[in-house]
Amino acid sequence: MKVAVFPPNSLILADMVERRGHEPLVIQKEIRKKVTDPEIDSPPFNITEEEPIKGLKYAAIEVPSGIRGRMAIFGPIIEEAEAVIIMEDAPYGFGCVGCARTNELTMYVLRKKGIPILELHYPETREETVEMVNKINTFLDNLKESTNQTEEQGE
């Protein structure tokens, strides 16, 4: 199952998702497509004039072009996500804070999709950390079980 993680560049969450047999949807994969594209001549100019136009799918024309450009990058994550793990109140070092409005808009769109979502608060103690890891593992294992049940019913 494809699982989006927030913060969108959290290697910790991505690793946990992958270890449980799911595909993490993270911003690094989307940005890599942009900076390794032969059509891009000069990174860091890795956004084309098309990106803000693609972002119109998620945000109105009145929204600043930076947000629309970011939404064009988040778009494939939104479209492909079959589940989401959201870490609230994470410190700057845990993952990208980026544009807060873009993150809010992305999470809003993901919540409206009606897919399984696990929302957690960043742990501050060892006990909270153990509890968080257990919740994530249980969530991911339940996704795997529901996928297996769906496949069995389809046979």
- pLDDT, tens digit, 9 for 90 and up, residues 128-151: 999 999 999 999 999 977 766 555
Query: Distance between CA atoms of 21 and 141, rounded to whole angstroms?
Result: 9
Strand-by-strand arrangement of the 23-25 sheet: 23-25, 2-6, 83-88, 117-121
Give the SS3 label for residue 47: coil
Residue 66 buriedness (CB in 10 A; 0-12 / 13-18 / 19+)? middle
The count of C-alpha atoms lying within 13 angstroms of the C-alpha of 69, restricted to the half-sphere facing its C-beta, is 13
Query: Distance between CA atoms of 23 and 21, rounded to whole angstroms?
Result: 7
The 10s digit of each residue's pLDDT in 18-75 is: 999 999 998 887 777 666 656 555 545 556 677 777 788 888 888 887 788 788 888 8
- The model carries a pTM of 0.79
pLDDT at 154: 57
Please count the residues of the chain.
155
